[in-house]
Amino acid sequence: MRGFFSRHWYAYAMVLPAVIVTGVLVILPLVQGAFYSFTNINESNIANPVLDRPASYEFTGLENYANVLSGDASYGGFWAILLRTLIWTFACVFLHFVIGLGLAMLLNRPMRGRGVYRVLLILPWAVPAFISAFAWKYMFNAQYGIINQVLRALGLPDPVWLGQSDLALVAVILVNVWLGVPFMMVSILGGLQSIPSSLYEAAEIDGASAWQKFRNVTMPGLRSVSSTVILLGTIWTFNMFAVVYLITGINPNTRLLITYAFERFFNGASRDYAIASTYGVLILSVLLVFASVYRRALRRQGEVW
């Protein structure tokens, strides 16, 4: 061990700053949040040096988890929010992948102006999310938004997109799909370009149709790329906060696990840090379980990572 460190000390010296930053900004808050989930901490009993008030919160064990997992509406109705979060995540990731795959296959073909199309399709990804969210919020405005103006011009109903209805969830899904497709497209395009052309030539010699080449050559060749981007897309979408909150604010019809944790932490007469931390731990637990199951399924298919 001593010889190993003496040979590779420079590598550890290079990694050490990143480890320190990660520990301070990620690991310590994570441990603190997990600890708070076992207490009854809120704004009234947390330590406040300005008011010279010591901390008076108490350890409550698993009480917060029992209350949240019971589905009690006073604790947000965890299962209803989880279902909405799963619908949101599945819809976004599915559309990200399908649209991204279609665009990547189009851009992988020789065409005039292909570079211009690539730049234009990457623009939504290049624009900061909060700018896009505010732009779409005005576009979805029921009275002055361009979307409803077009619908009225066509003689179609002009709904209240961002009101207290399920249309609000549809609206934020559309915005998130618009933001997320470029990343999926670029990733899949790289995977398509790594597939040897000889495989397509051999399939064509064997008389394979376009669908057979897609199913037996393209999709297996994209398996390693698609498995990674789907996992990343699921984690990012499950934890997506900016798009939902900036467009609809506190709206029960777009309430996700991450946005409700924010509500409990920053809103209300007495900010409930304990329940917010409990939701944070549960979000992490759901994602860890998903990643573990997903990885195991990939290993069974021969993908080792």
Dist. CA 147–CA 303, nearest whole Å = 44
For residue 60 the two structure tokens come to 């409550």
**According to the model, what pLDDT value does residue 280 have?**
93
Say if residues 161 and 150 touch (Cβ distance below 8 Å): no
Alpha helices by DSSP H, 108-166: 114-126, 129-139, 146-153
Burial 29-54 (b: 16+ CB within 10 A, else e): eeeebeebbbbbbbeebbeeeeeeee
- Round to whole Å and give the CA distance between 230 and 184: 9
Q: Model's pTM, two decimal places?
A: 0.86
Q: Rounded to an integer, what distance in angstroms lies between the CA atom of residue 260 and that of residue 86?
A: 14
pLDDT of residue 121: 80
Q: What's the pLDDT at 65?
A: 92
| pLDDT at residue 92, rounded to an integer | 95
Q: Which residues of the chain fall below pLDDT 50?
A: none
Q: Tell me which residue of 113, 121, 236 sits closest to 182, measured CA to CA.
A: 121
Residue 88 is predicted with a pLDDT of: 95
CB 275 within 8 A of CB 64: yes
Distance (Å) of CA 12 to CA 5, 8, 29, 61: 8, 7, 24, 39
